[in-house]
Structure 1
Amino acid sequence: MIDAGSSGSRVHVYRFKICHDEPQLEHEEFKMIEPGLSSYKDDPQAAAESLDSLMAVAVDSVPKDQQRCTPIAVKATAGLRLLQPHQSEGILEAVRRHLETRYPFPMAGERAVEIMDGKDEGVYAWITVNYLLGKLTTAQRGRSAAVFDLGGRSTQIVFEPTFRTKETMLEGEHKYQLDYGNENYELYQHSYLGYGLNEANKRIKEELVIMWNQEAQRTGRVYHPCLPEGRSETIEFSFANGTQKVELIGTGAGHAECRAIVERIFNKDKLCKLDPCAFDGMYQPSLSDTFEARDLYVFSYFYDYTQPLGMPSEFSVGELGELTQRVCNGETKPFRHVPQAIDALARNADFCLNLSYIYDLLRFAYEIPSDRLIKTVKKIRGVETGWCLGASIAMLDQVQLCQID
C-alpha cells in the first residue's frame, strides 16, 4: 500500500495470516520519501518515477515467488485533491502505467490507483487503530477508540457515538455504515479539507492581512502575534486589485493573542444546518455527550509537535494548552531535559503558531474538555498508525487473491 500524501509518499508492505475470521498481521515494512506526488504537478512521469525507491522496498520485502500474488494500491490524499483535475489525473495515469510496466505486483482492482475519498481515509485510520488495539471483536463491542488525524492539507475525525436516549445520529454524508467481521458499526466521520496543519498555517498568517487589509496594502506589512518577536516573513496575498507581497513581523505576543487569530479560521459562527455543529457549519454529535470514558487517539502532526518536547503518550487537552503557552512565551528552560528539544524550537519559527492551532483544533473546534485525556502514538504494537493498514485489510476482502504454487 502506497500512501501518496501531501508532504511525502510512504510504502507499507504487510504480511498477513488469513486463516482466522480476522486477518492476523505478522509483519510490516515501511519507508517514507519527500516530496509528495503533488510537487510534480507539471511532470507526471517524474511523479511516477519518484516512487521507485519505495517500490525497491516492496521488491526486496516480498519473496519473488509471491510477488505475482501480492496486490498493490496507491491511494492519494489531500495533496492531489487540491490540484487541477487534469494535473491529478495525469499523475495517477502515469503512476499506474509505471507500476504496471515496471513491477511484478498485480493492481488491486480498477481503483488501485486513485484519489481516496476523505471519508474513507478517516474510516480506514479508525480501523487501523481499533484493529491494533484489539477493539474490533465481539467481546470489545462498544469500546472502540476515536481517531483524530492531522495531515498537511486535511484533518479527519472518526468515532462511534453512543446515544443515551432514543436520539440517533442524523442522516447525511457524515454517517458511515461499516461492516467488519460479524459486526456492523455506525460511525460518525468527517474530513475537513483545508484544515490540515500546512493549510491552516497559511490561513492563520493571511488572517492578519485580511483584518488589516487596507493598511497591509498601503504599507506592505502587518504585525503577527503568532510569530516570534523580530521574526520577519514575506508572503504573497491576493488583494482585490492584484497580488502583492506583504511582510509579516512577529511580535511574540503569546498564546492567548495567537489563539485569538487561530480561532477565526474555524468559522464557528457559520450557519449550522444540522445541530449540533463542531466548526465550519458541520454537524457532529457532541464528544462529551456521546463518547464518554473511551479513548481518544490523535496522530500524525499531533504526535510530531508534542513528542519532541517531552510530552508523554497520554496527556490532557489542558496540559497541551500549558505546553503551548510555554512555547509561545519563548521559554526554553522547561525543555532542557529533552534531547534536541531546544534545537527543534530554534529551527521552527512556526512552533507557537502550529501548536496553537493543534490545541485550538481539539479544545475550541471539537470542544473537547480541558480535563479529557488524549493519547498520541506513531505506532501501536510496532505498526504505523494512519489509514494504510485499515485500507489493506479492506483490500483483502475486496481483491481476489491468487494461490501461490
Structure 2
Amino acid sequence: MALLISNRHYKLVFVLTVLVVVIITLVSAPVGGATNFAKPQIIDDVKQSVNDIIGSSIGTVATPWTADDAPEEPKAGDALKEAKELDVVKVSPGSKDVSKPAAAAAPVAAPVAAEQPKAGGIEANRDHAPENDVGKTPPATVAAAAAAAADDDSLDDSPLAEKKPASGSGKSEDCGEKYVVMIDAGSTGSRVHVYTFDTCVSPPKLLNEAFDMLKPGLSSFDTDTVGAAQSLDPLLAIALKTVPKDKQSCTPVAVKATAGLRLLGEDKSDAILKEVRRHLEEDFPFPVVDGDGVSIMDGSDEGVYAWVTTNYLLGNIGSAKKTPTTAVFDLGGGSTQIVFEPSKGEEMIEGEHKYSLSFGGRDFTLYQFSHLGYGLMQGRRKINSMVLSTALQTEEHANLKPAVDKSAKAEVEISHPCIPPGVVAENIEVELDDNTKYVVNFKSASEGADEGIVSSVATQCKFLAESILNKDLECESKPCSFNGIYQPSLRHQFPEESEMYIFSYFYDRLHPLGMPSSFSLEEMKEMTKVICSGSKHWESYLFDKNGIEHLEKEPQWCLDLSFMTSLLHTGYDIPLKRELKTADKISDNELGWCLGASLPLLEPGTASGWKCKVSKDV
C-alpha cells in the first residue's frame, strides 16, 4: 500500500475488518433464522462502535478518512506564526525571546480532545502530542502547546522565564533594549557610562555598560565654558558609537557634576553647566534630561545612588525577599559619602540624613551623609595646608612667596610627617585657607633619622589625618561620626553579617598594592604602617613589583592611606576587626552612583524629565 499505516491506525483497520466480516456473515445467514430480527440493529450498533472508536482514535469528527484527507505537513515557522495569530505567544520588540502574555490575553483552546502538553516548552511536548499520518503535531496542537508553555510556572528556571515580566511590574508593551547615557563630571576628570537595559523584566536587567574616562575635570577650565563643554566630546563619541542610530533620539543623556565643580563657586559652575546643556541640546541627537539633568548633584543623591548601584548589582534589592543590604563608603576627590540601612533596634532621629526609598517592591529607610571637603584630594589639601602653615611660621620659611601661576616651580623643601624616608614629593601645589597658593617640595621629616624614629612616620601622619576630622567638635545629637555630624553607630546598629563596601579612591589606592578584595580594617592599618616606613620596607611586604612602581611614582601614597584609614576607623567608627570589601566593578559593571542614577531615566515622561527628541528635519 502507498499509505504508510502508523501504530495508532492498526486499531482502525482491525475494526473495519471486523465490520466487513460481520456484514458478510449477516448477509449470508439463513432467511427467517433466529438472527434475522437482529440484523438491522446489529449493523447500527457496529456502525456506532466503529464511529466511536474512529472518533476517539483520530480526535476529530467521527468520519473515516484516507491519506488524501491528511493535513499538510507544517512548514518551518508555521507553529510560531499560528501561535502569534492566536495571541498565545507574544514576541517583545527588540528581543528574540518569547515573553509570557498578559493575563487578559487568554489562550485560544485548540479543537482537539488530546491531553494537554506537559511543562517543558514546545520541543518537550512533541513526544506527547497526538500524531497525524506523517508523525507531526497538528498546527492547532502546537498553538495549545505554546499556550500551555507560556502559562506554566515550571518554566521559571528556563531561558524563557528570563524575559517574563514580574507580576505587577507595569511593563509597557514596547519593552526591549533601552539605553541611558550618564556623564560623571568629577573633580579630577569626567567619565561616561552608556548602559544597555532589558526593560522586559522587573527590575530592569543591566545587559551591558560602555565606559570611558578622561582628564581634566570641568572645574579645571575655570571661566572657559566653551572649552569645558567641548571637553566632553570624546566621551559623547563613545555614546554615539554604542547606541544604535535609530535609538539615539529616545536615549536620554544627563551630566551630573560632583563636589569638584561645587567648590569652583556658584557663578563659574553655573556658567559651565549652562554651556554644557546648550552644547548637548544643539549638537547631539540625545534628548537632555530637564531640570537637574545637567547640574551639580546633591551629595545625598550621590550617596544613595551609589548604594542602589551596589545593592542592585549584588542582588540585594529588586525583589520582595528580605535580603540584608550592604553599606557603602564612597571616596571621591572632593567629598566622601556613607549610606547604610540601620537595624530596627533604635529609631533614627529625623533630619536630612534620613532617606526613604522604595525599590523592587521593598521600602528602605537609609542613613546617608555626604561630607563635603573630605574627599581624597581635599584631605590632601587640608593636611598639606596644615604642614605648610606651620612651616611659614618658622624663621626659615617666613619669607616664602606665593606662586605666581600654575607653571611655578618649587624653590624650597619643607619637611612633611607623611612623606616616607627616601622619597621627595616635588612641585606640590598647596592652597591655604585664605586661597593663596604655594608650590613646594615636601621631603620626609624622618630623613637620616634612626630606625625608631622612622617607624613613627605612620603615627605622626595618622595624627595629622585625625586632626582634620574634628572629632572634638560638639556633637548635638549623639552618636556622631566626625565634624559634629550625627550618625547611627556602625558598631551597634549595623549587623555584623552584613557587608561593607568601600570603593572609588579607596580601591584605587589599595588594589595596586596587592590588597585582596576582602580584608579587615586592621590589615589596612598594617599596610599603611609599612608604606609610611619607606622604600627599604616595601619589597619585603609587597611581592608585586608593580606596587613598588606605583609608590615610587606617587610620593603622597602614605598620606593617602593614612587619611583613608583614619576616615574609616576614627571618622566613621568602623571597628578594626570588621571585614571590608573593595572593588571597582561587580559583574563587570562599574561601582559608584551612575548606575543608580540611570535606572529612573529608562522611561520618558514627566517623572523622568525627558521625552524623545524630534529631528529638526521632520
Q: Shorter-chain TM-score: which interval?
A: over 0.9
Correspondence for 1:171? 350
Residue 250 of structure 1 and its aligned partner are, at CA, apart by 2.0
Alpha-carbon distance in 2 for matches of 1:150, 1:35 = 18
Structure 2 stretches lacking a partner, 5+ long = 1-181, 401-412, 447-453
SS in 2 for 1:128: helix
Residue 222 of structure 1 and its aligned partner are, at CA, apart by 5.0
Alpha-carbon distance in 1 for matches of 2:334, 2:306 = 16
Correspondence for 1:260? 463
Alpha-carbon distance in 2 for matches of 1:201, 1:237 = 10
Question: 1:318 and 1:68, CA in 2 relative to 1: closer, same or farther beyond 3 A?
Answer: same
Asked if 2 retains the 8 angstrom alpha-carbon contact of 1:310 and 1:335, the reply is no
Asked if 1 retains the 8 angstrom alpha-carbon contact of 2:287 and 2:613, the reply is no
Structure 1 residues 364-379: aligned runs within 5 Å: 364-379=570-585
Query: Which of residues 353, 373, 396 is equivalent to 1:194?
Result: 373
Correspondence for 2:484? 281
Deviates more, 1:141-150 or 1:49-58: 141-150
SS in 2 for 1:124: helix
Correspondence for 2:528? 324
Structure 1 residues 178-257: aligned runs within 5 Å: 178-211=357-390, 214-215=393-394, 218=398, 220=400, 222-229=414-421, 231=424, 235-236=429-430, 238=432, 248-252=442-446, 253=454, 254-257=457-460
SS in 2 for 1:68: helix
Structure 1 stretches lacking a partner, 5+ long = none
Structure 1 residues 85-100: aligned runs within 5 Å: 85-100=266-281
Query: Which of residues 292, 295, 305 is equivalent to 1:111?
Result: 292
Asked if 2 retains the 8 angstrom alpha-carbon contact of 1:335 and 1:341, the reply is no
SS in 2 for 1:45: helix
Asked if 2 retains the 8 angstrom alpha-carbon contact of 1:226 and 1:258, the reply is yes
1:290 aligns with 2:493: yes
Query: Which of residues 298, 311, 331 is equivalent to 1:150?
Result: 331
Deviates more, 1:107-116 or 1:125-134: 107-116
Residue 227 of structure 1 and its aligned partner are, at CA, apart by 1.1
Residue 48 of structure 1 and its aligned partner are, at CA, apart by 0.6
Question: 1:244 and 1:382, CA in 2 relative to 1: closer, same or farther beyond 3 A?
Answer: closer
Alpha-carbon distance in 2 for matches of 1:101, 1:244 = 41
Correspondence for 2:552? 346
Amino acid at match of 2:573: E
Amino acid at match of 2:527: L
1:383 aligns with 2:586: no
Correspondence for 1:26? 207
Alpha-carbon distance in 1 for matches of 2:481, 2:323 = 23
SS in 1 for 2:355: strand
SS in 1 for 2:573: coil
Query: Which of residues 315, 318, 321 is equivalent to 1:134?
Result: 315
Question: 1:70 and 1:336, CA in 2 relative to 1: closer, same or farther beyond 3 A?
Answer: same
Amino acid at match of 2:284: Y
SS in 2 for 1:155: strand
For residues 216-269 of structure 1, give each alpha carbon's deviation from its aligned partner in whole angstroms, at most 9, with x where no partner exists: 7637575321013363656556598x8777664422442111101111000000
Deviates more, 1:365-374 or 1:207-216: 207-216
Residue 198 of structure 1 and its aligned partner are, at CA, apart by 0.5
| TM-score normalized with structure 2 length | 0.62
Correspondence for 2:450? none
Residue 324 of structure 1 and its aligned partner are, at CA, apart by 0.5
For residues 124-165 of structure 1, give each alpha carbon's deviation from its aligned partner in whole angstroms, at most 9, with x where no partner exists: 00000000000014454250000000011100000000032x
Question: 1:60 and 1:335, CA in 2 relative to 1: closer, same or farther beyond 3 A?
Answer: farther
Residue 210 of structure 1 and its aligned partner are, at CA, apart by 4.2
Alpha-carbon distance in 2 for matches of 1:304, 1:222 = 27
Alpha-carbon distance in 2 for matches of 1:10, 1:355 = 24
Query: Which of residues 552, 555, 564 is equivalent to 1:358?
Result: 564
Amino acid at match of 2:515: M
Amino acid at match of 2:337: Q
Question: 1:113 and 1:134, CA in 2 relative to 1: closer, same or farther beyond 3 A?
Answer: same
CA RMSD of aligned residues (A): 2.2
Asked if 1 retains the 8 angstrom alpha-carbon contact of 2:327 and 2:338, the reply is yes
Query: Which of residues 310, 316, 340 is equivalent to 1:159?
Result: 340
Correspondence for 1:8? 189
Residue 54 of structure 1 and its aligned partner are, at CA, apart by 0.5
Question: 1:403 and 1:22, CA in 2 relative to 1: closer, same or farther beyond 3 A?
Answer: farther
Amino acid at match of 1:103: F
For residues 343-369 of structure 1, give each alpha carbon's deviation from its aligned partner in whole angstroms, at most 9, with x where no partner exists: 111111101110111111111111111
Amino acid at match of 2:189: G
Alpha-carbon distance in 2 for matches of 1:329, 1:139 = 50
Asked if 1 retains the 8 angstrom alpha-carbon contact of 2:192 and 2:211, the reply is yes
Amino acid at match of 2:499: D
Asked if 1 retains the 8 angstrom alpha-carbon contact of 2:353 and 2:369, the reply is yes
Percent of pairs identical after alignment? 47
Deviates more, 1:365-374 or 1:332-341: 332-341
Deviates more, 1:351-360 or 1:177-186: 177-186
Deviates more, 1:196-205 or 1:227-236: 227-236
Alpha-carbon distance in 2 for matches of 1:100, 1:244 = 40
Asked if 1 retains the 8 angstrom alpha-carbon contact of 2:250 and 2:287, the reply is yes
Question: Larger C-alpha radius of gyration, 1 or 2?
Answer: 2
Alpha-carbon distance in 2 for matches of 1:208, 1:163 = 44
Amino acid at match of 1:325: K
